[in-house]
Amino acid sequence: MVNILIDMKGAEAEVEEALPCHGRGSEFNSRRSRKVKDMKLIIASRGVAGKLLSDPEKYPGITHVVSIGADDPHQRPPNGFNSHTAEKLRLEFFDISVEKRKKMDGPSKSDVIKLIKFYTKALNTDKPSFLIHCQAGVSRSTAAGLILLTMFYKDANRAREELYRLVPYASPNSRMLKLANEVFYDEWKELHEDSG
């Protein structure tokens, strides 16, 4: 079961939907074993993430945090990030879909690999609870959430349907998704070359 908690407008997050965990027939990302049967996912803006992380007694249970910002004073980690006990991954890149624009770096393949490795480790724990945020909670964080859902369901189409069903106004960063496709394809190709 996946509980998707989403708040992209700045109010406190609420449970929107509980999704059954089925439909894993795809070979997609089949090499990543996982023990997890259910997880929780919160996609939020930096402001909401700060509220959630700053008061762990009021918002308990967050086990893994992906903080996406940029080398910019307005995109620093949220309040509570450094002191929270969750496993953390901090990535810094601007929300652009091209590789470089006006000296701003967008996501790189190494950023996406770090994200996938973080998820792989987390999905081998019992009942992980993820908080993923970027500045606005619309593009970088929804792309990171879509990558996680794809790994969880092992089906890219199902993950995309679930994300857009729950977050119709999501605008996942296209460069992050392209890079994730490259990483997953490389793994799929390596797996099939090894077996054949």
Assigned domain for 27 exists: no
Q: Name residues whose C-beta falls within 8 Å of residue 180's C-beta, 6 or more positions apart in sequence.
A: 112, 115, 116, 143, 147, 150
Q: Which domain holds residue 56?
A: 2-19+37-195
Please give the pLDDT value at position 98.
52
> Letter for the amino acid at 82?
N
Assigned domain for 7 exists: yes
Strand ranges, E, within 8-99: 14-19, 39-45, 64-69, 87-92
Residue 44 tokens read as: 């939020």
Cα–Cα distance measured from residue 16 to residue 152, given in angstroms and rounded to the nearest whole number = 19
Assigned domain for 104 exists: yes
Assigned domain for 73 exists: yes
Lowest-confidence region among 57-71, 156-170, 172-186: 156-170
Give the number of other CB atoms < 10 A from CB of residue 73.
Answer: 6
Cα–Cα distance measured from residue 79 to residue 133, given in angstroms and rounded to the nearest whole number = 12
CB 146 within 8 A of CB 181: no
CATH for 42: 3.90.190.10
How many independent structural domains does the chain possess?
1
Averaged pLDDT, 161-188: 87
Assigned domain for 127 exists: yes
Using DSSP, state whether 194 is helix, strand or coil: helix
CB 43 within 8 A of CB 8: yes
Percentage of the chain lying above the pLDDT 70 cut? 74
Model-level pTM? 0.79
Averaged pLDDT, 17-37: 33
